Amino acid sequence: MESRASQVRLPYTADQANRALPLVRRIVDDMVSTYGDWQDAVSRFEYATSRSRADAPDTDAEALQQEAQSLARRIDGFVGELRDLGVECRSFDRGLVDFPGELHGRPVYFCWMKGEPAVAHWHEMDAGFGGRRPLEGSV
């Protein structure tokens, strides 16, 4: 798969993160959807293997395992595309990403999650999602 990213952009400003968001949003949408498919494939594989016995293996288990592995490789590809953009993936299921940047002269992460209309939050490098603060009034 060819990467949708053209070059690494580090560090980000809040404006740059928002300009990159249309591409990031497409990658994250694909990643979250594929992650759901992967979870389903893993569940079906686990069920198939639970029905298996040494003398009677489930015939679907191998195909389901291959499907789950293929989906995992696709997810890795989406994470790589984000990494190529300088964006860090924090959650496959929620579509949470961080854009490394600077705010008031110190390193921070600009934070965005699938479903949000814009990059409108930031947090300290060591704070994580729980330390999110609104950009409004910070910039």
Q: Is residue 139 part of a domain?
A: no
pLDDT tens digit sequence for 83-113: 999 999 999 999 999 999 998 888 999 999 9
Q: Is residue 52 part of a domain?
A: yes
- How large is the greatest C-alpha to C-alpha distance in the chain, in angstroms? 66
Enclosing domain of residue 81:
14-134
Q: Give the pLDDT band of residue 137 (cuts 50, 70, 90).
A: low
Tell me the one-letter amino acid at 16: Q
* Cα–Cα distance, 18 to 23 (Å, whole number): 10
pLDDT tens digit sequence for 47-66: 988 877 777 777 788 899 99
Mean pLDDT confidence for 74-91:
96
Q: How many CB atoms lie within 10 A of CB 95?
A: 23
Instruction: Please check the confidence at residue 120 and state whether its pLDDT lies above 90.
Output: yes
134 φ, ψ (degrees, to nearest 5): -70, 145
Total number of domains constituting the chain: 1
Q: Is residue 123 part of a domain?
A: yes
Q: Is residue 1 part of a domain?
A: no
Q: Show the tokens assigned to 42.
A: 């893993």
How many degrees, rounded to 5, is the angle at CA 90 between CA 28 and CA 21?
40
Q: Is residue 7 part of a domain?
A: no
